[in-house]
Amino acid sequence: MITTERIEAAKEKFGQLLVEQLQRVEQMKAQGDFIDYKALDQIIIGVCGGDGIGPAITGQAQRVLEYLLADDVKAGKVAFRVIDGLTIERRAAENAAIPTAVLEELKKCHVILKGPTTTPRKGDPWPNVESANVAMRKELDLFANVRPVKIPEQGIDWTFFRENTEGAYAVGSKGVHVTEDLGVDFTVVTSQGTERIIRAAFEFAKNNGKTRVTAVTKANIIKTTDGKFLDIFREIAKEYPQIEADDWYIDIMTAKLVDEKRRKDFQVLVLPNLYGDILTDEAAEFQGGVGTAGSANLGKRYSMFEAIHGSAPRMVDEGRDIYADPSSVIRAGAMLLAHIGYNKEADKLYRALEICTVKEKKLVITGRNTGATSAAFADYLMETISNMN
């Protein structure tokens, strides 16, 4: 093909992306407010195991949540639904990021507890399907990725509000190879998508006694999209005069997070998708690694809670999945409980996790038969909770 034809083909693709993104804008405009869980007759909690060790550890998390919510499960106010099939095998067979039947089931729930899923990389035996995580965030419009990082003894108490549906991820799998030599990816920002994440960060700050919200961009260089994010941040900040609002560029912010004198001062951070992805891994590392962090993916209609570690397929191959550490997905379960209004139960679970993994630590999980099984760990948690009242 000659160059002008290539350019025309690329323009065609770009035009299609614009149509899709403008449709998304219309959908956001039409969106109502956040769902009110109290107004529901029944809250449906989907438990979606995913790949590798996922089904084993989410199964244990479900046991613990069912134990904490036993009365309301019995009364029919809460129901659990196990959703199978979000596996790389099924996704490969259907050549879909999320199999159709799984997506249908997910949409019947209000909140979802999700295990890890495998994202194919170049060279893997799987077709290059989109990440199930990214697809779920888009399909269920889970626009706020909330990731808390707390290290009390160091005075660290950060809450990251990562935009979860736009930026470099919006059309991340739809870049264009214009010629053999020229590849172009796109990054997307919308007024509606930016406003809702920034407002969520300020509202969280206001409702949780936080006094500072920090935006992180690279608006000095990425002038259109990051520039817009920052402009909207400054506008919305005016509505919250009691909260200090400042902004940093991602490079210096990455450095400041290791500055022990300054980092304590950050409280709530709001940032575009890719910067949020990177900075939250750095932050979680201070807390003990990404495996210790839970993550909430919040939308107006649906929300999903997950651990941010991988699916460890080798553990399954070696028959060790029963020894996998379920504590991060259980921590994600605690975030889920708090989100749907079970604050007392969430609190108990956080306390029990602290006792069982730090203070008392009667059982140790090693990932193999030298340590406890995930089921024994869940038993230990429940026993700890039963001794709490």
* DSSP-derived 3-state class of residue 293: coil
Question: Is residue 131 close enough to count as binding ligand IPM by CB under 6 A?
Answer: yes
- Rounded Cα–Cα distance for residues 127 and 144 (Å): 29
Q: How far is the CB of 133 from Mg ion (least distance, A)?
A: 9
Residue 133 binding: pick among ligand IPM, Mg ion, none (C-beta 5-8 Å cut-off by kind) = ligand IPM
- Rounded Cα–Cα distance for residues 78 and 280 (Å): 32
* DSSP-derived 3-state class of residue 19: helix
Question: Is residue 253 close enough to count as binding ligand IPM by CB under 6 A?
Answer: no
Total residues binding ligand IPM (CB under 6 A): 6
Backbone region of residue 76 per phi and psi (left: phi > 0; alpha: psi in -120 to 50; beta: other values): left
3-state helix, strand and coil shares in percent for the chain, rounded to the nearest 5: 50, 15, 35
Q: 344 with 389: CB under 8 angstroms?
A: no
Q: How far is the CB of 46 from ligand IPM (least distance, A)?
A: 18
How many C-beta atoms surround the C-beta of residue 330 within 10 A? 30
Taking contact as CB under 6 A, which single stretch among the options 22-30, 84-92, 128-136, 238-246 is the one that binds ligand IPM? 128-136
Question: Is residue 306 close enough to count as binding Mg ion by CB under 5 A?
Answer: no
Question: Is residue 277 close enough to count as binding ligand IPM by CB under 6 A?
Answer: yes
Taking contact as CB under 6 A, which single stretch among the options 10-18, 127-135, 237-245, 263-271 is the one that binds ligand IPM? 127-135
* Residues paired with 295 in a beta bridge: 306
Q: Which of residues 21-80 bind ligand IPM (CB under 6 A)?
A: none
Taking contact as CB under 6 A, which single stretch among the options 6-14, 81-89, 97-105, 129-137 is the one that binds ligand IPM? 129-137
Q: How far is the CB of 296 from ligand IPM (least distance, A)?
A: 11
Return the residue of 136, 142, 308, 378 that touches ligand IPM, per CB under 6 A.
Answer: 308
Question: Is residue 307 close enough to count as binding ligand IPM by CB under 6 A?
Answer: no
> Which tokens belong to 246?
């400042």
| Residue 10: partners with Cβ closer than 8 Å, 6 or more residues away | 176, 178, 184
- CB of 160 or CB of 342, closer to ligand IPM: 160
Return the residue of 163, 277, 325, 345 that touches Mg ion, per CB under 5 A.
Answer: 277
Q: How far is the CB of 108 from ligand IPM (least distance, A)?
A: 24
| Burial class of 276 by CB neighbour count within 10 A (0 to 12, 13 to 18, 19+) | buried
- CB of 274 or CB of 376, closer to ligand IPM: 274
| Burial class of 37 by CB neighbour count within 10 A (0 to 12, 13 to 18, 19+) | middle
- Alpha helices (runs of H) in 185-301, residue ranges in sequence order: 191-207, 225-237, 250-256, 273-287
Return the residue of 58, 60, 62, 133 that touches ligand IPM, per CB under 6 A.
Answer: 133
- Rounded Cα–Cα distance for residues 13 and 261 (Å): 48
Q: How far is the CB of 185 from Mg ion (least distance, A)?
A: 18
Q: Which of residues 101-120 bind ligand IPM (CB under 6 A)?
A: 119
Question: Is residue 283 close enough to count as binding ligand IPM by CB under 6 A?
Answer: no
Question: Is residue 321 close enough to count as binding Mg ion by CB under 5 A?
Answer: no
From start to end of the chain, where are the E strands?
43-48, 78-83, 111-114, 144-151, 156-163, 176-177, 183-184, 212-217, 244-249, 268-271, 294-298, 303-307
Return the residue of 47, 56, 65, 134 that touches ligand IPM, per CB under 6 A.
Answer: 134
Residues that bind Mg ion (CB under 5 A): 277
Residues that bind ligand IPM (CB under 6 A): 119, 131, 133-134, 277, 308
